[in-house]
Amino acid sequence: MPLADSLLRRLADQVGTPFWVYDSTVIRQRIADIKVMTAAPGLQARFAIKACPATKILREMCAHGIWTDAVSGNEALRALHAGHAAGNNPPVICFTADVFRDNALEVVMKHGLLPNVGSPAMIAQLAAAGYKGPISLRINPGFGHGHVNTCDTGGPSSKHGIWHADWKAAKAAADRAGFDVTMLHAHIGSGPKVQELHDNLTRLAGEFAALIPHFPKLTAVNLGGGIPHNYRKRDEQPPIEPLAQLFARCRDIIVKAAGRDIRVEIEPGRYYVASSCTLVTRVHDVKRTQDNAKGKGATFAMVDAGFVDLVRPAMYGSYHQIEILGKDPAQGTEPIVVAGPLCESGDVFTRGGADEELLPRDLPRPEIGDLMVLRDAGAYGYAMSSNYNSIGRAPQLWLEDDGTVTQISRRENIDDIVKAETDERIL
């Protein structure tokens, strides 16, 4: 069911603004797409929980046989809570990190999860804790791409993984600790172009093929995520069949090098959920500045959503399509800066360029009371929201195929914000 303007207005009247709304039909279609991409024998898909960790989402993944990748102890617990199986044979929940923080090591130990080791010292830390199971090694292959340059997940500037030239030392440490290395992993990121993904994954499969003979207990190779999502041209998304062929070819390369059956995994996050969610906000004012010696004036649409809700534009200069409900751009537009309520100059949704400067968006003239929507907000949207300025997180709503809407998280209040504060003496 499409997100009709009338529905969004009713929801705004019911729960207030801002709010998030997920379209279950879109999520299930993206899951179905991934199932087609991994339909060849020996392929397994995971979901990178960090993209959108809502229990409702995790239960959808579980119901469709999508395994998970957790990057904190609590993410792993959320996956368990949603019904994903514990244990490492098979490793339905893989724990990937560069640091064991908080309860992470305890959760791995208690639930027998497969730890995907991103820093060499983690091997000794596992051994010191008494861990006895298999491990995975996350390799930084020396190349890769993020959806923006600051998000590169492979290469000299990336903090993630064990540098590819250091794999021998990592394997020796695993051997000394008595750990079987059962999986090799790399994540080269969500570059904006499908051809780049094709070239990088083919190269990565070849790199892993060269390593496999040195890991006799290996049963799996994880190629990471990296399926792009086109935020600017929402109707132009990566074709499914060429990606299915790519993943199957990569597995053929890996199995041939191993001389035995090897499971090949992918673990997208963004692809599953980005297009499923819309952030709905309301215009509270429209104000203008004038040209002067310092620069050009602008028209600001002041909305009640801010980077406490969707931080990606402020953090990365990321683009999200913005629309004003009930107003047709064909009837005329003007340059508008869309800004939020926070006491922070960077609280602007229309940024970009090398210096993340203001980039006014051509929109119909907004008026006080208009509802404005930011599309494709499902990935790293609510997941990266915060309580800055002591603002509660906005509610998340779920639209079912039959048109019913469920609130899957409520709007936070002051009690939620201060509930962790104490006056407990510790020394």
Q: Indicate which residues carry an active-site annotation.
A: 343
Q: Would you say residue 156 has pLDDT above 80?
A: no
Lowest mean pLDDT among 90-94, 194-198, 217-221, 406-410: 194-198
Quote the CA–CA distance of 184 and 265 in Å, as a whole number. Answer: 10
Residue 147: what pLDDT? 45
Residue 142: what pLDDT? 85
Q: Would you say residue 195 has pLDDT above 90?
A: no
CB neighbourhood size of 82 (10 A): 20
Of residues 406, 415, 418, the one with CA closest to residue 15: 406
Quote the CA–CA distance of 222 and 228 in Å, as a whole number. Answer: 17
C-alpha distances (whole Å) from 112 to each of 96, 256, 318 are: 14, 30, 38
Instruction: Please give the mean pLDDT across all residues of the chain.
Output: 94
User: For residue 46, what are the β-bridge partners?
Assistant: 67
All domains in the chain, ordered by first residue: 85-268 (3.20.20.10), 275-415 (2.40.37.10)
In the numeric block, the tokens 């006014």 are attached to 360
Q: Which two tokens stand for residue 314?
A: 């402020």
Residue 387: what pLDDT? 98
Please report, as a single letter, which amino acid is at residue 406: T
- Interval 256-305: pLDDT, tens: 999 999 999 999 999 999 999 999 999 999 999 999 999 999 999 999 99
Residue 371: what pLDDT? 98
Q: How big, in percent rounded to 5, are the helix, strand and coil portions of the chain?
A: 35, 20, 45
- Interval 100-117: pLDDT, tens: 999 999 999 999 999 999
In the numeric block, the tokens 């997941």 are attached to 383
Of residues 177, 180, 271, the one with CA closest to residue 224: 271
Q: Would you say residue 190 has pLDDT above 70?
A: no
> Averaging pLDDT over each range in 10-14, 193-197, 236-240, which range is the top one?
10-14
Residue 226: what pLDDT? 84
CA–CA–CA angle 150, 339, 19 (5° rounding):
90
Residue 221: what pLDDT? 98
Q: Would you say residue 426 has pLDDT above 80?
A: yes
Please report, as a single letter, which amino acid is at residue 150: T
- Confidence at 145, pLDDT banded by 50, 70, 90: low
Phi, psi (5° rounding) for residue 135? -135, 165
Residue 189: what pLDDT? 67
Question: What is this structure's pTM?
Answer: 0.94
Query: What integer is the mean pLDDT of 129-144?
Result: 92
Quote the CA–CA distance of 200 and 191 in Å, as a whole number. Answer: 10
Residue 154: what pLDDT? 58
Contact 227, 200 (CB under 8 A): no
Contact 22, 276 (CB under 8 A): yes
